[in-house]
Amino acid sequence: MLAKKIIPCLDVINGRVVKGKRFQNIQDVDHPVDLAKFYSDAGADELVFYDITASYEERDIFLHVVEEVAAAVGVPLTIGGGIRKLEDFSSVLNAGADKVSINSAAVANPDLIGEAAERFGSQCVVLSIDAKKNNAGSWDVFVKGGRENTGWDAIEWALRGQELGAGEICINSIDMDGVKEGYDLDLNRILSEKLRIPIIASGGAGEMQHFADVLKVGADAALAASVFHYKEILIGDLKRFLQEQGLTVHL
């Protein structure tokens, strides 16, 4: 059995790590390099950085931050936010990233997924989906940092992304984002049953059991931010707990 991964997520605005709830009430947390080094030393399997206003503000991504973090840590880095074309993939990967996450740009131009996978390999392409449950009981895809509803079905979009060449799907529940009441288990269960590529669950972690729950329904990795940023959960303690729950993790 492949080991489940624990991935801290660092949202960045103006060179600082921040955190909010349901994409609102943004608060300053720390410097990205300092926090990345802390997580790398603590046993994080990977790190994800999102420039969370780059797409909305239609500006380029924070390459200087990518370069500094890549030089300081030894774990794989995924970078997202402000990626709009193949040249952006090249810039981010050349700056030291291992994977590139696309969200709004993939919705605007789905062919970008396949073009990036062909040039850089599927393993470099992460399709990130911000999903919000609708009144019909399914999930809609949102873009522009959760500001705009596309009307697309999140499950269907994930399947299409897989067929286009994405190597991973990062599924973020807007409903659960930052509220610490647990991941959207139904959403992750359905995706794990339908997809053959890895799923990264995002949005909702508040206690160790939440990680165990989502990994047990089929997610391959669990991503979280505030519980790690504010040291409410330490990664070493979490991994030992998950191991006691019968899950395979790298200690």
Residues 83, 229: Cα–Cα separation, whole Å: 25
The CATH number given to whatever domain includes residue 192 is 3.20.20.70
Indicate whether 53 belongs to any domain.
yes
Q: Domain limits at 23?
A: 5-244
pLDDT at residue number 137: 94
Indicate whether 27 belongs to any domain.
yes
Give 39's pLDDT tier (boundaries 50, 70, 90).
very high
Indicate whether 251 belongs to any domain.
no
Indicate whether 33 belongs to any domain.
yes
Give 117's pLDDT tier (boundaries 50, 70, 90).
very high
pLDDT, tens only, 161-177: 999 999 999 999 999 98
DSSP alpha helix (H) spans, the chain: 32-42, 54-57, 63-72, 86-94, 104-108, 111-120, 154-164, 185-194, 208-216, 226-229, 235-244
pLDDT at residue number 7: 98
- Judge whether 143 and 130 are in contact, CB under 8 Å: yes
Catalytic residues: 11, 130
Indicate whether 250 belongs to any domain.
no
Report the amino acid identity of residue 125. V
Give 20's pLDDT tier (boundaries 50, 70, 90).
low
Tell me how many domains the chain contains.
1
**Average model confidence (pLDDT) for the chain?**
91
pLDDT, tens only, 197-227: 999 999 999 999 999 999 999 999 999 998 9
